[in-house]
Amino acid sequence: MNDEAVDPRFIMQEQPVAERIIRVIVGRNDVSSAYLLYGAEGLGKAALAHWFVTALQCECSDPASRPCDECLACRKCEAGNHPDVHLLEPAADRTTISIDQIRDDIRPVLRRRSYEARHKIVVVPEADRLTPEAQNAMLKTLEEPSGSTIVVLISPSLRPLLPTVRSRCVQIPFQDLDYSSFRSRLQRQGHLSDDACRQLYLATAGNVELSEAIAASEDQSQRWKTIEQLAEELVNSFFPSPAEITSWADRLSPDRDSAREYLSLLTVSLRARLLDSGDAGQFRFADCVDVISEMDEAIASNANVRLALEVLFVKLREVLNSDYN
């Protein structure tokens, strides 16, 4: 699932706070060394970050007209081949971003002069996947930027990032969509009844990107129904026996990629069930996310998929049965 395809104009209509902050930065040409865009999945953070980076590199003389979408810098950003814009993502066989990637891939780039633009920009689309060691290594970049260096972090929440990292960033919050905005986005993609929109809004906790995928794909819709059933059994303690754990592990492990997709959906489904149940629910959800991330990394690192899922279900039951009062 990738929200870069979403038109930034729609994101700006839905996220007036983020739009106002970004337009002031671009309009005044007053640039800081680090920005943090944060908010739930599916709100368009990547799309607006791409617009922001393009505007920062745009060659138009009038800041209010950036990005112009016509200059060479804008065209290169749109094509994803601007030499002064760099993506930092987990390595192919990992789910986290390691300190070695900061040392080996990012610092050498930032030591060099810019090739063409005013700024050297590093974009981290999944900043929540930076290990604590990598975040500490990133601090040196944030504290002692080389030339006009800008780091743009994107994260589903503030929690995974160290306070020292957060404090060095201009924070740009994305608000959860109200139902009216959610319905408008979904109905732009095709005809959906109000009842269908409302069901998706409640089921996915307003995750419009996932809802679009479910509405557009029968396969994705079936995966979601499977995960909804699993989450319901987990949260409501209908999932006690080893036989049921084995059965669910079999259902969710046809291959490594499918298993990881199921885990991504499980995070969303648990969020919808737990976050509205007070502080205890929020703590449970945070711990569930940690467990799911741990097993996702194990699966990505070639662990036995079926065994990893069995361990996951046991750990999730322990979290969900814990007393947080």
What pLDDT digit, counting tens, does each position of 32-44 carry? 889 999 998 888 8
Residues 6+ apart with CB under 8 A from 226: 251, 252, 262
List % helix, strand, coil for the chain (3-state, nearest 5): 60, 10, 30
What pLDDT band is residue 101 in, cutting at 50, 70 and 90? Answer: very high
Residue 313: pLDDT over 90:
yes
Q: Which helix (H) or strand (E) segment is 275 a member of? A: none
- How long a stretch of residues is the chain? 325
What pLDDT, in 10s, does the model give residues 48-83? 999 999 999 999 999 889 999 999 999 999 999 999
- The second-level CATH assignment, the architecture, of 3-173 is 3-Layer(aba) Sandwich (3.40)
pLDDT of residue 1: 38
Looking at per-residue pLDDT, the higher value among 249 and 300 belongs to: 249
Q: In terms of pLDDT, which residue wins out, 145 or 112? A: 112
Q: What are phi and psi of 154, to 5 degrees?
A: -125, 130
Cα 26 from Cα 295, distance rounded (Å)? 40
pLDDT at 199: 84
The answer on pLDDT for 171 being more than 70 is yes
How confident is the model over 132-153, as a mean pLDDT?
A: 83
Please list the residues that pair with 97 across neighbouring strands: 130
203: Cβ–Cβ under 8 A, 6 or more apart, which residues?
224, 228, 269, 272
DSSP state of 3: G
The span from the CA of 97 to the CA of 57, in Å, is 26
Indicate if the pLDDT at residue 13 is higher than 50: yes
Handedness of CA 276, 278, 283, 287 (dihedral sign): negative
Q: Give me 54's structure tokens.
A: 């393009």
Which element (helix H / strand E) includes 208? helix 208-216
Given a cut of 70, whether residue 172 has pLDDT beyond it is yes
**How close are the terminal C-alpha atoms of the chain, in Å?**
36
Percentage of residues in the chain with pLDDT exceeding 70?
94
Neighbours of 234 (CB within 10 A): 21
Residues 44 and 15 sit within 8 Å (Cβ to Cβ)? yes
* Per-residue b or e along 48-60, where b marks 16 or more CB atoms closer than 10 Å to that residue's CB: bbbbbbbbbbbeb
**Amino acid 277: pLDDT:** 66
The pLDDT, as a whole number, for residue 4 is 46
Cα(39)–Cα(154) distance, integer angstroms: 9
- pLDDT for the residue 239: 66
Instruction: Look at residues 295, 320, 312 and name the one whose alpha carbon lies nearest to residue 245.
Output: 312
What is the average pLDDT value for the chain, to the nearest integer?
87
pLDDT band at 282 (very low <50, low <70, confident <90, very high): confident
Give the tens place of pLDDT for each residue, 179-222: 988 888 888 766 678 888 888 888 887 888 888 888 888 888 89
Query: Residue 166: pLDDT band by 50, 70, 90 thresholds?
Result: very high
Confidence at residue 145, expressed as pLDDT on a 0 to 100 scale? 62
Q: Tell me which of 188 and 304 has the higher pLDDT.
A: 304
Q: What tokens were used for 147?
A: 């030339």
Model pLDDT, residue 2:
44
